[in-house]
Amino acid sequence: MRRVTIKEVAALAGVSPSTVSRVLNGKDAGHMRPETKERVLAAIRALDYTPAKAARTLRKRKTGVIAILLPDISNPFFSLLARGVASVAFEHGLSTLICDSDNSLEKETQFWDILLAEGVDGVVFVPVGEPDGAKVEKLRRRGVEMVIADRRVPGFPVVEADNRGGSASLAELLVSLGYRRIAYLAGPKGVSTAEDRLEGFQVALEKHGLSPTVVRCGDFTYESGYSLAREVLSQHPGMEAIVAGNDLMAIGALRAAEDLGIAVPRKLGIAGFDHVFPADLVRPRLTTVAVPAYQMGKEAMRLLIEGAKAPERKVLPVKPILGESTPRR
Amino acid sequence: MRRVTIKEVAALAGVSPSTVSRVLNGKDAGHMRPETKERVLAAIRALDYTPAKAARTLRKRKTGVIAILLPDISNPFFSLLARGVASVAFEHGLSTLICDSDNSLEKETQFWDILLAEGVDGVVFVPVGEPDGAKVEKLRRRGVEMVIADRRVPGFPVVEADNRGGSASLAELLVSLGYRRIAYLAGPKGVSTAEDRLEGFQVALEKHGLSPTVVRCGDFTYESGYSLAREVLSQHPGMEAIVAGNDLMAIGALRAAEDLGIAVPRKLGIAGFDHVFPADLVRPRLTTVAVPAYQMGKEAMRLLIEGAKAPERKVLPVKPILGESTPRR
DNA sequence: TTGAAAGCGCTAACAG
DNA sequence: CTGTTAGCGCTTTCAA
């Protein structure tokens, strides 16, 4: 890749490289002859010069690149979150490296080394499960800033949704609609999002002297929602509602009910969490809890920029959405 | 960001930096004492050393980073495509910079400068519309490899779907089902994908002495599908089918019909293109044409790696999917 | 207000 | 088989 260098620009403008560098970095405040500056700018334009970031990085020890490491970019929740991160990064002149760990802890671990080599200035991290402690510790020692999004990891700043609260409201809603026999299809163990939602739900039910009739664990995918729901519905014929840890699983459950000939919502209520795009596409429309994924990405990136001054934890409000998958009374 | 350097490793291993470098780059084939190599490896492990990519880049004039510049990562078609690109890049030890132009030509243009500064080795490019010729030409002059995906740009290697063929098959299908009065909601002008699909459809209809009753242009979003369909359906009460340039628009049309109280498929047939995840979620399930987005990403990345040796154009086969949104007869 | 010089961490000749 | 040397393109003292 042939490059125009700062030297060539300097030569054309009849100045030294340092002068060009000063113009490039805005370090000419007041004390540079406007004429000189103009000559430099002209040379830059003439040669269509773009400074090499690698050289700059080497010198400044800052890459101007941040990474977002997440489980699956084709999951609408995460792609929205990623857009939020990228938009704030872009505003601050930072580039965004999107790293898709493909729901694999192993791949995630490999990425830590890549990010370290890449020398990213910071990372917004959505862990697959329990992250590799040693690697993460190494990053921290090396001074790479890190903010966790959507899920908690002890000892790191985090931006998350009010999962317990949202889940509790959802439980209240279902109870008020008259549902009693409820199956809960949770997300994966060890993921705070999944656990908070389940606990929030259970605690709220207990206040009414109730508890989920069945609890099963899935992995937040459409497929796991489908198969768990199928299983639960065949084993428990009188089930009144299925509540899933996220919308994708809830939509899987909806399909399972459909395939089993169980009418939703007449015979079975279904609810999810997240309010991703597909939740409004299915019929009946999903009852769910809206989580501001895009804003979560933005907030996470903001915390990353603020660094040490930032709060250790930011909780975003959520909002229950009453769809048509849970009418009754 | 404190860094362990190659010098420190060399010192600990009691060798010169070049020796460490040789180990790092596998340039020790045969002619290095195994014992020396072992000492170096031990030192690397002891210090938990990771080479600085910036320095390497500066020296080798290769970053090991490729970019994928696309209109919207939260569009399921593109996020799948991006995953395909990233997976092949990962296999080859390349990092992937995902650049979301947010459907804006201006932002897209800004990205070209960023990518140039970043010094990416190559770009998989899904243009928003007609790309900025000057910028793209500059990239090429600077030796940045580029492959276009999904849409054609004259003069660049491209991986695309058989849009004309797929659209023609779809037209045949609809005709055979008995549809005659058909509205076509096309994608944006100037985008080859949109134009090919429209033309393929028209040509196939003409063979039967037919042509679309109405043709409108949208922008491939759910919203544009919704509003165009609403308009068309109110203005042309007897319309038998709406065919959209992609699934998102088709789903918008489905919602419009729903809101207008027009029964699909009893009163109106609807078809899309792409076969993205949501197409199977809506009811009635969408009749569409499956485009292998993930594979398209993979192929694009492969072309990028093969470089000049690669074919100039690769067309991926598509497959019509008969859903429930177009029964009849 | 500007220039000269040193060096960020690495690799690639060229010696030895 | 391994070390020495000279940069890659930029920023940043320090001096003028």
Q: What angle do CA A122, A125, A128 make, to 5 degrees?
A: 155
Residue-wise pLDDT tens digits, A36-49: 999 999 999 999 99
pLDDT of residue A31: 79
Domains and CATH numbers, chain A: 6-51 (1.10.260.40), 58-160+294-316 (3.40.50.2300), 163-291 (3.40.50.2300)
**Strand order through the sheet with A182-186:** A214-217, A182-186, A241-244, A269-271
Most distant CA atoms of chain A, gap in Å: 86
Do the Cβ atoms of B62 and A138 come within 8 Å?
no
CA of B123 to C1' of D11 (A): 29
Mean pLDDT of B123-144: 86
pLDDT of residue B2: 67
Of A73, A138, A277, the CB nearest to B83: A73
Q: Which residues of A297-312 are buried (b: 16+ CB within 10 A; e: fewer)?
A: bbbbbbbbbeeeebee
Alpha carbon of B34: minimum distance to chain A alpha carbons (Å): 25
The residue whose two tokens read 């792609």 is A79
This prediction has a pTM of 0.92
Residue A298 · residue A91 · CB < 8 Å? no
Nearest nucleotide from residue B22 CA, by C1' atom = C11
Residue A214 · residue A236 · CB < 8 Å? yes
The secondary structure element, H or E, covering residue A313 is: strand A313-316
Regions in chain A scoring below 50 on pLDDT: none
Mean pLDDT of B141-169: 93
Q: What is the CA radius of gyration of chain A?
A: 26
pLDDT of residue A329: 66
Chain A residues in contact with B61 by the CB 8 A cut-off are 1, 3
Residue closest to B146 by CA, chosen among B154, B156, B155, B137: B156
The secondary structure element, H or E, covering residue B252 is: helix B247-259
Q: Whose CA is nearest the C1' atom of nucleotide C11?
A: B59
Residue B216 · residue B232 · CB < 8 Å? yes
pLDDT of residue A228: 98
Mutual orientation of helices A222-235 and A247-259 as an angle, nearest 10°? 50
Residue closest to A151 by CA, chosen among A122, A131, A171, A121: A131
Q: Indicate whether B309 pLDDT > 80.
A: no
Residue A241 · residue A201 · CB < 8 Å? no
Count of CA atoms in the C-beta half-sphere (13 A) of A52: 20
Chain B residues in contact with A114 by the CB 8 A cut-off are 95
pLDDT of residue B280: 94
pLDDT of residue B143: 81
Nearest nucleotide from residue A8 CA, by C1' atom = D9
pLDDT of residue B329: 67
Count of CA atoms in the C-beta half-sphere (13 A) of B267: 12
Name the residues contacting strand D (CB < 7 Å). Answer: A 3, 5-7, 17-18, 20-22, 24-25, 27, 51-52, 55-56, 58-60; B 14-19, 22, 28, 30-33, 35-37, 55, 58-59, 61
Residue-wise pLDDT tens digits, B30-47: 678 888 999 999 999 999
> How far apart, in whole angstroms, are the C-alpha atoms of residue B147 and residue B165?
22
* Concatenated DSSP letters of B198-238: HHHHHHHHHTTT---SEEEE--SSHHHHHHHHHHHHHH-TT
Mean pLDDT of B13-20: 93
pLDDT of residue A204: 97
Do the Cβ atoms of A142 and B251 come within 8 Å?
no
Residue A158 · residue A147 · CB < 8 Å? yes
Q: What are the Cα distances from residue B186, in Å, to A50, B158, B170? A: 39, 22, 14
> How far apart, in whole angstroms, are the C-alpha atoms of residue B204 and residue B302?
33
Chain A residues in contact with B144 by the CB 8 A cut-off are 1
Residue closest to B292 by CA, chosen among B117, B81, B120: B81
Residue B145 · residue B123 · CB < 8 Å? yes
Residue closest to B151 by CA, chosen among B215, B194, B181: B194
Mean pLDDT of B191-196: 96
Q: Indicate whether B1 pLDDT > 60.
A: no
Task: Give the pair of three-digit tokens for residue A229.
Answer: 């729901």
Please report, in angstroms and rounded to a whole number, the separation of the first and last CA atoms in chain B. Answer: 69
pLDDT of residue A1: 57
Count of CA atoms in the C-beta half-sphere (13 A) of A313: 8
Residue A95 · residue B118 · CB < 8 Å? yes
Average pLDDT of chain B is 93
Do the Cβ atoms of A54 and B119 come within 8 Å?
yes
Mean pLDDT of B291-302: 98
CA of B53 to C1' of C9 (A): 9
Other Cβ atoms closer than 10 A to B294 = 17
CA of B7 to C1' of C4 (A): 27
